[in-house]
Structure 1
Amino acid sequence: MTIPSCQLYLISPLDVGGDFPERLQQALEAGPVAAFQFRVKDVEQGEAERLAEPLKEICDAHDVAFIVNDDVDLAKRLAADGVHLGQGDGDLKDARVELGDQMQIGITCHDSRHLAMEAGEGGANYVAFGAFFPTTTKETRHRPEVDILEWWSTIMEIPCVAIGGITPDNCQPLVDAGADFLAVSGSVWNDPEGPTYAVKRFNEILAG
């Protein structure tokens, strides 16, 4: 299978209980998907660990990187493939000491070239820019221009992730600008045709 130059990075909805493991299975079977981010809020760590474990097993079975949002301790306890840190979620240097060199660390950089350069120089494995489009998944205050992706991919080898309101209908400019990954959530989990259909639509575009 040819891996497209830009790949899908799925982000979970906040509710990952109920039938969500089955929905994740469907999404990954429709792949390829490069990574899955486990993102829950206001959940005690023991409960978060309980919810995450079956999802990590599904990702492992499909060779999909399992990334934990905002929680270095949980990432370490789960032996996750990586952690994603927002600007208020801890220091990159401290996280690297805690997690070692083998775990991926991604950093939210909003619309800031300065924050991205700091993250890249500080040893981040990827930087994330967004939100590029309106989104209801989380509150956003930053709206980068698409050319930030072109700027980054021209000067740095560290991958960049585009995030925020991305759908199959609006993603092409981000791909063309050099995004290495499209981070998507609502456009997959809320697709009326289901996650299988949504992932296939994205991958048809990325393969084209």
Structure 2
Amino acid sequence: MNTTCQLYLISPLDVSGDFPDRLARALDAGKGVVTAFQFRVKGIDDQHEAARLAEPLQAICAERDVAFIVNDSIALAKRLNADGVHLGQSDGEVKDARERLGRDAQIGVTCHNSRHLAMQAGEDGADYVAFGAFFPTETKETEYRAELDLLEWWYHVFELPSVAIGGITPDNCAPLVTAGADFLAVCGAVWNGDEVAAVKAFAKAMEDAPQPDPEP
């Protein structure tokens, strides 16, 4: 079981302009803390345009040994030779992603607040499961609210890593770490302000949080 929680950054919907510079600063500030970055853009049907936006971000991640994960699209992940893909419940099957992206790809699955969906994802061969939303969030509409006992149960029963998502900030993240989340997926709390200060604040909060109890 992992007792060191890490950050999983999710991109804002607009990754143009100076965003590549912001990403580089965030990753440099979070060296050893940020281990994954999810490329999440919506409303771009042209894969060429999505690939153009992704290219500099993917290079920044590669230089810093941070996993570059594509949201939703197995096809785009394959085109970019990304490190992995994150699948919502309607974005395709883990088995298909594995066949198309290879055995080394990191495949994550959104499981909302469902133990059943998470166990199914694990059986299907996912590399991690994502639970949430744990707090109110303005980043995306959320139908589901997850509770800390879900993370605690998963931590004590399964080896597969879990990601907590939804409205997570440096001020509220400690209970998620203590409950056993392996990763905190964050977006607005980093990109809506000073990304360097935010990442450093997360790192301190995660380090200061009590570690999960190894006994259920």
**Counterpart residue number, 1:123:** 125
* Residue number in structure 1 paired with 2:94: 92
Percent identity at matched positions? 68
2:104 match: 102
Other-structure match for 1:207: 207
Q: 1:141 is paired with a residue of what secondary structure?
A: coil
Tell me the residue number matched to 1:136. Answer: 138
1:135-174 to structure 2, matched below 5 A, reads: 135-174=137-176
Conserved in 2, the CA contact under 8 Å of 1:75 and 1:83?
yes
Give the C-alpha shift of residue 207 in structure 1: 2.0
1:48 to 43, 47, 50: 50
CA RMSD of aligned residues (A): 1.1
- Cα offset, 1:154, TM superposition: 0.6
Q: CA deviation at 1:157?
A: 0.5
Moved over 2 A (4+): none
How many residue pairs get aligned? The number is: 204
- Counterpart Cα distance in 1 of 2:17 and 2:139: 19
Q: How far does residue 147 in structure 1 lie from its aligned partner after superposition?
A: 0.8
Q: Which residue of 1 aligns with 2:27?
A: 28
- Gaps of at least 5 residues in structure 2 are 209-216
Match in the other structure for 1:111: 113
Whole-angstrom CA distance in 2 between matches of 1:60 and 1:206: 24
Report the TM-score when normalising by structure 2: 0.93
8 A Cα contact 1:4 1:207, kept in partner: no
- CA shift at 1:4, angstroms? 6.9
For 1:136-176, what per-residue CA distance to the aligned partner results, in whole angstroms no more than 9, with x for missing partners?
A: 10110000111100100111101000000000000011000
Deviates more, 1:51-60 or 1:94-103: 94-103
The whole-number CA distance in structure 1 between the counterparts of 2:10 and 2:151 is 20
Matched position secondary structure for 2:111? strand
Check conservation: 2:171, 2:205, Cα contact below 8 A. Answer: no
